[in-house]
């Protein structure tokens, strides 16, 4: 059995986040010792590691909840889990595409300035006037 502090150290998840996951129902509430100290089992540690990894991949709390529910039924086909992962992949690809546009525009405006004074700075002018941007990046 692990204390909440030990669980936090073992998994790299902060104590308030562990409590939050308990409140959200992603992690079952810990048993309490006679001194009212939370005690976590190995399976709770494994569940928390699962949640942490899913969050690192950008999955929403709701998607994680669905995956946890699916994991409780190992005999079911994994099509739903595949769908959740594919949806997250599409979201990540959209974000990457947007970040590439932002990168290109920032590179363009940061290298476009040839002035030594702020009054003539292209970066300041471009930020003040969206029409100076080459792409729609909002």
| Residue 99 and residue 135 in contact, taking contact as beta carbons nearer than 8 Å | no
Whether pTM exceeds 0.85: no
pLDDT (tens digit per residue) in 62-115? 999 999 999 999 999 999 999 999 999 999 999 999 999 999 999 988 888 777
| CATH number corresponding to 4-76 | 1.10.1660.10
> What region, left, alpha or beta, does residue 37 occupy, with left being phi > 0 and alpha being psi -120 to 50 degrees?
beta
């Amino acid at each position: 059995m692990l204390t909440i502090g030990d669980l936090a150290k073992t998994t790299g998840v902060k104590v308030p986040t562990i409590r939050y996951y308990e409140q959200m129902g992603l992690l079952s509430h810990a048993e309490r010792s006679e001194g009212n100290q939370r005690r976590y089992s190995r399976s709770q540690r494994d569940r928390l590691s699962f949640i942490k990894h899913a969050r690192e991949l950008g999955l929403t709390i709701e998607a994680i909840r669905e995956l946890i529910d699916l994991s409780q039924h190992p005999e079911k086909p994994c099509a739903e889990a595949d769908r959740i992962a594919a949806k997250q992949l599409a979201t990540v690809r959209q974000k990457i595409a947007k970040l590439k546009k932002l990168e290109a525009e920032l590179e363009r405006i940061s290298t476009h300035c040839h002035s030594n004074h702020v009054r003539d700075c292209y970066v300041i002018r471009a930020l003040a006037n969206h029409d100076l941007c080459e792409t729609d990046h909002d």
